[in-house]
Amino acid sequence: MMKKLLTTTILIAFIAFPVLAENSNDEERIPPAVSDTLVGWATSWEAGLSGSQATYSNWAQGGINNLAVIGNSDFIAKFRENRFSYGFRLNTRFGQTRIEDEGVRKIDDRLEVLNRFLYDIGDEGGDFKIFANINFRTQFAEGYNYGAGEDGEDILTSRFMAPGYLSENVGLAYIPTENFSFEAGFGMLQTFVRDESLSTRYGLDEGDTFRNEAGLTFGASYNMRVATNVSVNTSLETFTNVNKSVKSTNVLFNSQVTGRINNYMNASFRLDLVYDDDFSKELQVAQILSVGVSFILI
């Protein structure tokens, strides 16, 4: 499964690149792209709210009353001076649903901070750059595997900084357009699990709360505007520990399709794939379809 996942995602990136270079003009991607024409600082901040509600009474087909709400915020800052550029992104999401007779459950949770430093090689604004990334990700609230216990109880699987991931990568990046990037390098990955009861769940020894790894990194990201009001944003990250088999490579794949209905309303579909055999030998999959409103704050 691991080999098939890596092969498929790499093929998608290479097949899609010619299309992206011809059709995309969206400046947003992960990590944030910095235009060659930018001078000084530029910032943007967009926040959104989406949700759904369903109520049933004497309904023949059946159904469970529920209410779901998801909030998100995306702040981006960019800077360029001569050959040097910097991109910062703070991406947060949190959502809950209330299900009749089952209480409140978490349905979305993300806290992600991305820092990207670039220095042009050769001509200013050239396609090849030296890069350095410092990234952090975790979640805000406790997460559970509901009803998975022997007696049907909920099992705690995560909480703030359990786990939390901090990575530092350096290497060579190829960025022919603002819509596509490809990079490879060397990196460090720190895993934090502040709740000792979850240590073994994330590959740490019992009682340990910290692990540091060194390895090889690979990344690719692109966005594509498929229509005037529809865009696709995708990113792929891998980390291969130098002391482990390539079969244990960590893979993080994110893709989101967004359709803007008007200046305030949009619909989106997000697909997240994670492979981390410290947590599970199976592929982790998250799919979220939502309709909501968004506001440009900056």
d(CA 291, CA 114) in angstroms, rounded, equals 26
What's the pLDDT score for residue 18? 35
Instruction: Quote the tokens at residue 145.
Output: 């595997």
Q: Which residue has the tokens 């409140």?
A: 104
What's the pLDDT score for residue 21? 32
What's the pLDDT score for residue 166? 97
Cα–Cα–Cα angle for 14, 19, 25, rounded to 5 degrees: 115
Provide the 10 A C-beta neighbour count for residue 287. Answer: 9
Cα–Cα–Cα angle for 189, 191, 197, rounded to 5 degrees: 165
What's the pLDDT score for residue 53? 86
69-107 per-position pLDDT tens digit: 999 999 999 999 999 999 999 999 999 999 888 889 999
Low-confidence ranges of the chain (pLDDT < 70): 1-32
Contact, 235 vs 244, CB < 8 A? Answer: no
d(CA 234, CA 269) in angstroms, rounded, equals 12
d(CA 137, CA 114) in angstroms, rounded, equals 9
Tell me whether the omega of the peptide bond preceding residue 163 falls within 30 degrees of 0, making it cis.
yes
Among residues 72, 238, 57, 276, the alpha carbon closest in space to that of 158 is found at 276
Q: What is the CA radius of gyration of the chain?
A: 21
Q: Which residue has the tokens 């990037």?
A: 181
d(CA 278, CA 244) in angstroms, rounded, equals 11
**Dihedral pair phi/psi, residue 83, rounded to 5°:** -85, -15
Among residues 174, 220, 179, 176, the alpha carbon closest in space to that of 25 is found at 179
d(CA 100, CA 59) in angstroms, rounded, equals 15
**Dihedral pair phi/psi, residue 11, rounded to 5°:** -60, -40
What's the pLDDT score for residue 79? 96
d(CA 248, CA 190) in angstroms, rounded, equals 16
What's the pLDDT score for residue 10? 40
| Domains of the chain and any CATH numbers | 2-296 (2.40.230)
3-state secondary structure of 26: coil
C-alpha dihedral sign at 198, 203, 208, 213: negative
pTM for this model (two decimals): 0.83
